[in-house]
Structure formats: C-alpha cells, structure tokens
Amino acid sequence: MTLGPVMLDLVGKELTAEDIKRLQHPLVGGVILFSRNFESPAQLKALTASIHAVRQPPLLISVDHEGGRVQRFKDGFTKIPPMREFGKIWDSHPKKAKELAEEAGWILAAELRAHGVDFSFTPVLDMDYGESQVIGNRAFHVKAQAIHELAYALMHGLKRGGMPAVGKHFPGHGYVVADSHVAIPVDEREFDEIAQNDMQPFRQMIDDGIQAIMPAHVIYPKVDEKPAGFSPRWLQKVLRERLGFDGVIFSDDLSMEGAGVAGDVTARALAALNAGCDMVLLCNQPDKADELLANLKWEMTGASRARLARMHGARSPKDMDHLHEDAEFVAAVKRVDLVGKSEQDLF
C-alpha cells in the first residue's frame, strides 16, 4: 500500500482501535502529533513505533516543533528558542547566528528522530512586519537575506539530524494581521511587491533544495480570489513553474478558519489537491476525518508518491543515550540554551 494524500492527527497518547482503522485507510499517508499526544519520551517512542507498525511503507510522522511557543514536546527535549533570537544575533554577528541556527536544527532533528518522528514543519520563512498575530517571533527577521541565511543554516542542521525541511507559509504570511486559525486573512498587496519581498526567502531556499513547502491560508486578491493553498495560480504557475519547486506541497490544516472559504471538508481537500498540494492536513476533528475518508475520491500521481517517499527520516537515528554521550552534541545543546539569555557567553 502506497502513502495516501491525507495527514491526520490522533486523539490521545496511544493508538485506539478507531485510530488504527483510520490510519489503515488507503487515503492516509501521514500523522501529525500535538502536545496532547505527548506524556514522556518513552511514551512518544512507543507511540511512533506503533504508528509505523500499522502498515508498509510506514506512514509519515510529523509535528510542529519550531522552537519558542511552537514546540510540542518539552520534557526530555532541549528547549529551542524562538527563531527571532537568531535574527537578533544575526544583526551584529551573522556568522555566529548561522552557526547557532545550524546547531539548533541539528538538535531539533536528532532528538525528534531519536523518538521516531520523520520531520517537523519548520522553518518559518515568513517576514515579520511587526503586525501578524500568529507569526511574530516565529519569524527569523524582516530582512530576506537574514531569513535565507538562517533558514539555510537550520536546514543544514536538520539534514545532519536526519530530517528534511518544510518551509512555510508560502508566499508569505507575515504582512497580514489576522490569524488564519480563527479568521480569513487578506493581503491586498500587488504580486510584484510580494514577489520582491516575501517570496525571496522561498525562492532562495528552493534553489538550495528545500524538500517541502506549506502554503498560507491567506487570500491575495490582486493575484487570486482563492487562498494560496487552494490556488492553482499560486501553487502551479508561481511555485512549481516560476520558482521551479519540485518538492512536496503540504496544505495547512483544513480545519482552520482560513480554509472555510473552500466549503465542507471534502471540498476543501479536493480544492487543495486540485490546486497542486501533494498532501492535505486535517486536525482536531475526528468526525470530519471520517467524513473525508468516506467521501474523498483522489488518485495519487507517481510524482506525488515519489515526493512523499523522500519525506521519511533518515534510517537508524541515534537514540537519546548516544546523543547525550556525544560531546559535540552536548556542547551544541549548551550553546543553544544560551540563545536569548546570555549573549556574552556565546562569544
């Protein structure tokens, strides 16, 4: 059975019979974990092993584990600082900021891989204009050069830890005030302004080989009346053709308010898949997940299947005991722990 185009979440800390039934459905290809699915490192490792055992090839396991206020697993995991902290260091010490961002990516990936997670939805490539309710210090900077340099370093760290990178939220979520989880944000700027600013980090990271991208649930009416994640113009004409991206396109969560313009859950999934997404996410609504699996009709292309297969984490990751015996890793953890706390000790 190949991976399907739908990524779902779980209710609790271990698989239930209902979870297993959903995960065995041929439309499912992945699982996204949240804080409610985490109790301890041992429990998490057992959970991911049980998910991977459900079918072959194993389902993809993901998480939003960026650092700062978006870090789902805490006890037993290194506390990753908000990405803005690396941007602050970049302003005066760009080389040091890049070194620290790479170490943060390595730590993040190595610890998640040690617990069976394939990838995290990171890095955020949005520019922070100081207005967004949801982006804020999740963004590295407002300058495209800083975002690119730091995201590139983080991606290298992720790769070192055995994990692909996912850039978000294309073509840029940082300009709008509204939070797409609870509203439908509208960005009134012209395409050229977005392309010359917000899209630059995405373009540069695509040139650098980033493996996956997540579009924004934001409407850019000067370009298309549909949110970017439901727009063939944004995903096929701009992202695929103009920018030459050939990695995975993940939809943002279809249960978010910003996705509501596309209709019911099946209509939302079809809109995203027809627009060019390879995989759609549906979170926090088990009844809607059942509705989607019952009603969605979709044939995966060979290209989508190949792209998704590349999102599996590297084989044979080090376990936490081995990581804590690695002097270089332990030193990196100590340095990253100082970010945002004691700049003088970093130099």
**Token duo for residue 1:** 């059975």
Coil/strand/helix, residue 131: coil
Q: Are 125 and 171 in contact (CB under 8 A)?
A: no
Q: How remote is the C-alpha of 60 from its chain's centroid?
A: 13
Spatial strand order of the sheet with 28-33 comes to 119-120, 60-63, 28-33, 6-8, 279-282, 248-253, 212-215, 166-170
138 is in an annotated binding site: yes
Q: Which candidate in 118, 187, 224, 252 is catalytic?
A: 252
d(CA 163, CA 130): 30
Q: Is the CB of residue 187 less than 8 Å from the CB of residue 218?
A: yes
In the DSSP assignment, the letter for residue 314 is P
169 labelled binding-site residue: yes
Is 72 a known ligand-binding residue? yes
CA–CA distances in Å: residue 336 to residues 216, 340, 345: 29, 9, 11
Is 319 among the residues known to form the active site?
no
As given in the structure block, the two tokens for residue 174 are 């940082």
Torsion 79-62-269-213 (CA) sign: positive
Q: Is 187 a catalytic residue?
A: no
Q: For residue 64, say whether it is annotated as part of any ligand binding site.
A: yes
- Nearest Cα to Cα of residue 320 among 73, 101, 85: 73
- Catalytic residue from among 93, 181, 319, 337: 181
Q: List phi, psi (to 5°) of 63.
A: -165, 150
Residue positions annotated with a catalytic role: 181, 252
Annotated binding site for substrate: 64, 72, 138, 168-169
Binding site listing: 64, 72, 138, 168-169
